[in-house]
């Protein structure tokens, strides 16, 4: 296949690939499921080979797809209701750290910390399907779509400290395309939850696969884990790189290389 005419957008351009075409009033209920084996790989960039596809995992489609149809686990009302108990928990943490929660500078800290934590995890308040319903377009477009450098801020589920970095997404459309800013929304929803980088990478790729039924999808995330940097496990400037390749991105080395070259350029 010749994809020499790839379209490449940077996240800043916010070019809406589907603006001129008809909106698919889609719910995804009627869509055929297709198997999505994923593969994630982690490596510290300093020592790393370039991210690429491996076919080490062939998970049954159903278990991977669950995340796509998941229910919203938290509402804005839930936030209000749980704020006092969250704040009380932070008071306990302050005491446990040897601090005096009554100290002037800390008086409002439990409430601030609780509110901040709710914000950092606001991805639980949203479902991917709600974001995408009006954003998928039918278009006669079969060139590789690349979106590079989507900012990502997440929280490590093992230590509750930040993971941050950049997400690169590419897909080869099979008629359906997605407004490009929506790719960033998918990243935002999944990353604003407690995460591990490998799962985040896979969830983004699977969501795009489910929504667009493309010929292939590639997602690469380069991220810094503060739990590793601050404990000296990882150097400040080294990054953890994960990738998930689905469909033709996994099966065809040429397509995959094209994607990996484009996101580095």
| Residue ranges that bind Zn ion, judged by CB under 5 A | 156, 158-159, 227
- Catalytic one among 11, 195, 197, 203? 197
Q: How far apart are CA 130 and CA 72, in angstroms?
A: 10
φ, ψ for residue 45, nearest 5 deg? -60, -35
Nearer to Zn ion, 69 or 158 (CB): 158
Nearer to Zn ion, 89 or 161 (CB): 161
Which phi and psi (to 5°) does residue 84 adopt?
-60, -40
Which residue in 3, 125, 139, 159 is the catalytic one?
Answer: 159
CA distance 84 to 110: 9
Which among 11, 118, 141, 156 is annotated as catalytic?
Answer: 156
Provide the minimum distance between the beta carbon of 156 and Zn ion in the complex, in angstroms, as a whole number.
Answer: 3
Would residue 66 show up in a list of annotated catalytic residues for this protein?
no
Nearest one of 144, 149, 151, 154 to 218, comparing CA atoms: 144
Q: Is 27 annotated as catalytic?
A: no
User: Count of alpha carbons within 13 Å of 162, Cβ hemisphere only?
Assistant: 10
* 156 is known as an active-site residue: yes
Give yes or no: 168 in active site: no
* 3 included as an active-site residue: no
Residue 93 or 227 with smaller CB distance to Zn ion:
227
Say if residues 209 and 36 touch (Cβ distance below 8 Å): yes
Please identify every residue annotated as catalytic: 156-159, 197, 225, 227
């Amino acid at each position: 296949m010749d994809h020499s005419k790839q379209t490449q957008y940077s996240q800043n351009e916010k070019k809406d690939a589907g603006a001129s075409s008809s909106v698919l009033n889609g719910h995804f209920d009627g869509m055929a499921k297709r198997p999505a084996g994923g593969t994630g790989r982690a490596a510290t960039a300093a020592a790393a080979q370039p991210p690429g596809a491996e076919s080490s995992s062939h998970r049954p489609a159903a278990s991977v797809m669950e995340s796509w149809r998941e229910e919203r686990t938290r509402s804005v009302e839930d936030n209000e209701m749980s704020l006092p108990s969250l704040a009380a928990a932070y008071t306990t943490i302050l005491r446990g750290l040897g601090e005096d929660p009554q100290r002037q500078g800390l008086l409002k800290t439990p409430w601030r910390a609780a509110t901040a934590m709710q914000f950092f995890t606001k991805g639980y308040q949203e479902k991917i399907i709600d974001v995408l319903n009006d954003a998928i377009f039918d278009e006669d477009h079969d060139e590789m779509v690349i979106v590079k450098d989507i900012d990502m801020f997440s929280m490590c589920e093992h230590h509750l400290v930040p993971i941050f970095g950049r997400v690169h997404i590419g897909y080869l459309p099979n008629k359906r395309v997605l407004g490009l800013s929506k790719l960033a929304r998918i990243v935002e929803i999944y990353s604003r939850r407690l995460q591990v980088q490998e799962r985040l990478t896979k969830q983004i790729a699977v969501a795009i696969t489910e929504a667009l039924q493309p010929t292939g999808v590639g997602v690469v995330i380069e991220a810094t884990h503060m739990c590793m940097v601050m404990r000296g496990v990882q150097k400040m400037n080294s990054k953890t790189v994960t990738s998930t390749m689905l469909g033709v991105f996994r099966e065809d080395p040429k397509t995959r290389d094209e994607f990996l070259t484009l996101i580095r350029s």
